[in-house]
Structure 1
Amino acid sequence: MTTAALTAEPRALTTEPRARLADLVAAEWIKLWSLRSTTGTLLLTALAVLGLNVGTAWDQVRYWGEHAPADRADFVADGMALLSAFTGNGATVLMIALGAFGAVAVTGEYGTGLIRTTFVAVPARGSVMAAKALVLAAVTSVFGVLLAAVSFWLTQAQFARYDAAVMLDHPGALRLLLASALLAPVSALAGMAVGALLRHGASAVTATTLLLLVAPVFLSTRRYWTALLGNATPYRAWTTLAERPDVLAHQPYPGTPGGAWLTLACWAAGSVVVTVLAVRRRDQ
């Protein structure tokens, strides 16, 4: 045997296999569910959102008998019960909680120093963050779908006693449920992107809230460019998909359903890209 052959063999034995994406996803899954705050956060968020939505429906049916027959008939004919299936207050709480959830999913590792160990074990930082984003998107998507479905069922059960509930085949019902469900992963991924940029828990949570909910308040709907920017935010996109068409028609520059779906998709995809690129040129 030659000297080259003898030196090549030990080198081959010490070469470690590259981490597969499936392994990284499994590791991030364990990390996420090993935190007690994960279950607690999701549970409290669900209770808060359901409480707001169901409470709105209950408040409407509580005085049902006091309304005139003509008003009750118009309420049923217009499908007004759908507005309580997922309210604006519920959407706001969902975005705040899931945005913070996504931010902490990143900043928690920076706070404990675990991120250094992770990057030493897996130098491909972009792959680590992609796996983290994939796990977060999967968990929050399932959470969003379940929350929207349960909210729809509980709220319409309130109106069913008076034959005022709407079904899933009612115009706009499925669109509202899907848009509400997508708020969870979109908010979580946006929070993750902010967390990857700032790497500090309190700052990331605050910045995420400002980005998702406070910024749209200052974007006027009465001027073209501010309305255009406002319609490109997740909350305004959800509002476009949740509102009745006749209400949107009275706005100077209303959003469109197609543009709203595109906005939610771009925020989710853009957040993942920012998360992956944010760790490429950092010291840790």
Structure 2
Amino acid sequence: MTTLDLPVVPVASVVEPRARFRDLAGSEWLKLWSLRSTGWSLLLGALAVVAFNLGTAWDHYRYWLQYDVGSRAEFAANDMALWDAFTYNSALVLILASGAMGAVAVVGEYGSGLIRTTFTAVPARGSLMAAKVLVVTVVQTLFGAVAAGASFWSTQAVLSVRGVGLPITHPGALRIVVASALLAPVCAVAGMAVGALLRKGATSIVGSVIMLLLLPAVLTDRRHLTAVLAHATPLHAWQRLGDAGPRAQELFPWSTGGAWLVYALWALGGTAVTVLAVRRRDQ
């Protein structure tokens, strides 16, 4: 029998199983926490947020005896202790930290070139980025919850020494804590969208700062168009949700329901951009 007479045995092709979404989420979780900078960034960010809030409460505690009777009564009557629970400056720090972390979560792989290996191993780019968004959202939600919860507890504990601290069951207190906690994942997903579009580390961080901080800061509520644009930003939505004291007369007022809607739209829009931006673009 010659070689030509040997029977041809068909070889079954091996088809790799499609990666399950939970496996993709697990790999993104490991990838995120394998970076030593992740833990340190979250820790330092939370400490900075709490420090800003605690510093404001400490000032009120320290100079409380120097206030006149009318000022003390106004502080208590207007629930100004809730203003110390999460201050404007601490919100800026939270937005900066979360937006930057979200952008780095995407552009980090582009900078190292790991994204080519990732897309080769998982051709389903949309599912991969959706898993990345899910992981970052969970981490940032926990980060925001810790920062907001620790800020509320510490500030009200300090003010309670003067008899003006408020419990979490006080009207408006829980809303402030929840709104401050959710500000972190909303801004992180927005930062991811910027990173997916720009794909450069420093450029993406600067872009997220401009979009989340600088633009809302320059938009005024004195004109209808700029007021509407301002209301559509996470920073102004947080301000509306965290408004605990007496409200000044607004030219173009809006509701807390509209502020929650802004949160939801930014989260959904950022997720859509992050997932869709990698589908039809080159690595």
Structure 1 equivalent of residue 270 of structure 2: 271
State the TM-score, normalized to the length of structure 1. Answer: 0.94
Task: Look up the match of 2:188.
Answer: 188
Is the contact made by 1:237 and 1:255 (CA closer than 8 Å) also made in structure 2?
no
Aligned to 1:165: 165
Deviation at 1:88, TM superposition (A): 0.4
Task: Give aligned-pair identity as a percent.
Answer: 56
- Against the structure 1 CA distance between its residues 33 and 134, is the aligned structure 2 distance closer, same or farther, given a 3 Å change threshold? same
- Give the whole-Å Cα distance in 1 for the aligned partners of 2:167 and 2:244: 16
The aligned residue for residue 202 of structure 1 is: 202
Alignment of 1:38-53 (within 5 A): 38-53=38-53
- Which digits, 9 at most, give the CA deviation of each residue in 1:213-268, with x for residues without a partner? 11112222011111001100000000001113632x41211331000000001101
Aligned partner of residue 246 in structure 1, secondary structure: coil
What is the rounded CA distance, in whole Å, between the counterparts of 2:256 and 2:35 in structure 1?
37
Gaps of 5+ in 1: 1-5
Higher mean displacement: 63-72 or 170-179: 63-72
Q: By how many angstroms is 1:96 displaced?
A: 0.5
The match for 1:213 is 213
- Deviations, residues 135-165 of structure 1 (Å, cap 9, x unaligned): 0000110111111111000000111111100
* Equivalence for 1:282: 281
CA separation in 1, counterparts of 2:60 and 2:176?
Answer: 19
Cα deviations by residue, 1:111-143 (Å, 9 ceiling, x for unpaired): 000000000000000011000000000011011
The C-alpha deviation readout for 1:49-102, integer Å capped at 9, x for no partner, is 111000000011111111122322232222111100000000000000110000
- 1:32 Cα deviation after fit: 0.2
The letter for the 2-side match of 1:243 is: D
* Cα offset, 1:211, TM superposition: 0.2
CA distance in 1, matches of 2:101, 2:74: 41
Partner letter of residue 17 of structure 1? P
Query: Partners in 1 of 2:75 and 2:246 — Cα distance?
Result: 15
Task: Indicate the RMSD between aligned Cα atoms, in angstroms.
Answer: 1.3
| Aligned residue type for 1:168 | I
Which residue is 2:254 aligned to? 255
Aligned to 1:116: 116
Structure 2 unaligned segments of length 5 or more: list them: 1-8
C-alpha distance in 2 between matches for 1:10 and 1:234: 55
Residue pair 2:78, 2:245 contacting (<8 A) in 1 also: no
| Structure 2 CA distance for aligned equivalents of residues 230 and 70 of structure 1 | 34
Show the counterpart of 1:132. Answer: 132
Contact 2:220–2:227 at 8 Å: present in 1 too? Answer: yes
Spell out, residue by residue over 1:15-37, the C-alpha distance to the aligned partner (whole angstroms, 9 max, x if none): 00000001000000000000011
Aligned residue identity for 1:130 = A
What is aligned with 2:144?
144
Structure 2: how far apart are the matches of 1:84 and 1:255?
23
Q: Which amino acid aligns with 2:222?
A: R
Contact preservation (8 Å) 1:110, 1:199: yes
* Cα pair 2:80 2:244 within 8 Å, conserved: no
2:34 corresponds in structure 1 to 34
The range that moved more, 207-216 or 61-70, is 61-70
Equivalenced residue count is 276
Tell me which residue corresponds to 1:10: 12
Deviation at 1:168, TM superposition (A): 1.1
Separation in 1 of the partners of 2:27 and 2:244? 43
Aligned to 2:239: 239
Superposed CA deviations along residues 151-206 of structure 1, whole A, max 9, x for unmatched, are: 00000011111110011121211111111001110111100010000000000000
Supply the distance in 2 between the matched residues of 1:59 and 1:245 (Cα, whole angstroms): 19
Residue of structure 1 in register with 2:3 after alignment = none
Tell me what 1:3 maps to: none
